[in-house]
Amino acid sequence: MAGGQQNGEGEEGEEDYYEDGLQVPKSVLDGCLASFTAADEARVKGSTRFFDVTANMSLLCRHDRPLFTTNMTTAGEGQYYVLALLAKLFEHLPPHTIVKVLYDIGCQLERSCRRWGFIDTHLKRTTFAVSIFHAFGHQWPCQIVYHPRKCKGYGLCDGEGAERLWHSLSRLIAYGRVAGYYARMYHLDSQLNFANEEGLHMLGAWLRRKLIACEQKYKEAEHALKACGFSEDLLRQEWAAQIEAQTRPLPRQNRKQGKSAVEEALRLRKSRDALQDQVERLQNKIIDTSTPGWEIATVELELASAKQSLRKAEGKVLKKEQALGMKQHQELRHLLNSPFLNKKMNARALKMRIRERLRSRKFELDRLERSYQKQRSEQRINDHTQDSVKRRDPGIAELARKYNRLCEEMATIIQKRKAPRNAIAPPKIEMDGLFDLDVDDDIWLDIGLGYDEDKEGEGGNAPPLWLSNENVRKGIRALLERDRCEEERDRLLTERRAMQEWFSEEWKVILAATEDKVLSSSVLYQLREWQQRMCALYVVWERTIVGVPAGDELPAWGLSEEEIVEARGVRVHGNVVIAGEEDEYDVQFEEEADELLVEHLDNLQITVNYREFQSNVRE
């Protein structure tokens, strides 16, 4: 069984480490688990008291077509549903096929698989990543390893096909709550089959759209890569150094506790100073001759309470500082004597607070986007939740502005040469797009705020380029984006070839089957129907894959010229084949025409058709 404990020192002095086969340390994975556990506890789940089936979980391919679906019978989302779907998938795949899994908490899924030996026989050919729009709930070290834009082999896949499938099935939610078990299963299965058939017809348009978007992103990434001014080899070295530095296991717990003790001592000092200011203010009020007598009595009571609180605070400060070791005493004196380090510590705490509030906001909005409640009372709750989230936005924005002011003050101290050697001013938070939580936003990076940077500055070593140079960071992002675009383009061209190879083979099978003399008329009729559907599919693909290169040595589609000409005389809408008319549908005319004019022409045409019908009836 994979996993197991490594050498540790118990809960108190436990050292952070990499679990077997994982690239992210244990502390980071624990943070991701806590984040999603808290979000899941706050999410409204289906009740097992009123519903036998609380939800559905589906496994989709990268074209958003459902492969397997399972009923969920629990209130929450367990990993065993995902594992069951993956096990079913592996039953239908050759043993050499590489599988790349995108899941909201892909890091925890891989952790469970390696720790407990789930899908152990297939784990070597399986990689895991997190879906793009749920990456905000993960720690930053987890994102740089599991984000699909940072992982090799994922191309431009986003892992959000399940959300799009849910949206297409959401119309069945109200019906599914009151329908019988088998009626619900029948309608859900029919809808999924329709989605698959619709996806097959739209595959050509999907390929062309993805290829155009891929080429556009590739050009933008190539332009940004050239503009950064650094070579690709250097950027790859810096990216590897960044991954190594930011996924490094934390020091021992006691060292971390020492830093926490220093921060606690500073906090107690600030609390004591605030109480001292309060005592001085009250004393000045008593001394002031203009203070009324009745107010002096009240102030004296407040002064006695403030002095008592001050004595307690001084005792806590003294006790805390006496408990510090020699190393922590030196660090405390260093922080007290350095306004730059003091502001740096405050900025770091403020940025962590901003991140947590943004993450919490995103989880709340995510629950609203997933909800599909029609009852008035529940809709009011959703509206109230959304209003509450929006009301907290100004508070988050004010925290960001406060952080930016600290960054400006730190930059000023650096310019005056009053900061430690090689100190870096942290970049300000961009107010535009503050609530997006994109993976490449600076909100995730503690540039200029890390503890280890102080030691690098004191020792005279310059910080690495990925940390100190904005152009290097832009170049790394562009390089990774270009790599993903190249992977996506290769995959799209491979899929284009697979389309034609599949169609050619399917057509040969149909022709061979129809030539069988022993087939009954009913079977032959079904084969003819399937042949017509394949002809209609060819016509749709023929129009939509124009401009998508197919490569050389591809087998012919298989249709004769007569069959192609006949197939072009029909139009396909989903699964329905309708006889086409001579006049083509003019999309540009519909977009530019006046709405009233179009409505008038439609009414006129209906009138003409009705009159022709009536005249034919009389004849």
Tell me which DSSP letter residue 573 carries.
Answer: E
- Break the chain into its structural domains and give their ranges: 26-201, 253-476, 587-618
| Confidence check: pLDDT of 196 > 90 | yes
Question: Would you say residue 331 has pLDDT above 70?
Answer: no
pLDDT tens per residue across span 407-455? 888 888 888 888 777 788 888 888 877 777 666 677 777 777 764 444 4
Q: Is 576 helix (H, G, I), strand (E, B) or coil?
A: strand
Using 50, 70 and 90 to split pLDDT, how confident is the model at 580?
very low
Bridge partners, 130 (sequence order)? 103
CA quadruple 216, 219, 222, 228: dihedral sign: negative
**354 and 443 Cβ atoms separated by less than 8 Å:** yes
Q: What is the mean pLDDT of residues 462-467?
A: 80
Bridge partner residues of 385 (DSSP): none
In angstroms, the Cα distances linking 9 to 5, 14, 16, 222, 252 are: 11, 5, 10, 49, 9
Residue-wise DSSP of 6-75: -S--TTTSPPP-BPTT-SSBHHHHHHHHHHHHHHHHHS----TTT-S--EEEEEE-TTS-EEEEEEE-SS
Query: 516 and 499 in contact (C-beta within 8 Å)?
Result: no
pLDDT at 9: 37
pTM, full prediction: 0.71
Q: What pLDDT does 228 receive?
A: 94
173 or 15, greater pLDDT: 173
Tell me what the pLDDT averaged over the chain comes to.
79
pLDDT at residue 10 in the model: 37
Indicate the SS3 state at residue 130: strand
**What residues contact 296, with CB distance under 8 A and at least 6 apart?**
285, 286
**Strands in 118-236 per DSSP E:** 126-130
**What SS3 state is found at 446?**
coil
> Is the confidence at residue 523, as pLDDT, over 60?
yes
- Label residue 577 by pLDDT band (50, 70, 90): very low
Buried b (16+ CB within 10 A) or exposed e, 242-254: bbeebbeeeebbe
> Tell me, what's the pLDDT at 322?
64
Least confident of 145-149, 344-348, 467-471, 550-554: 344-348
By CB neighbour count within 10 A (0-12 exposed, 13-18 middle, 19+ buried), where does 520 fall? exposed
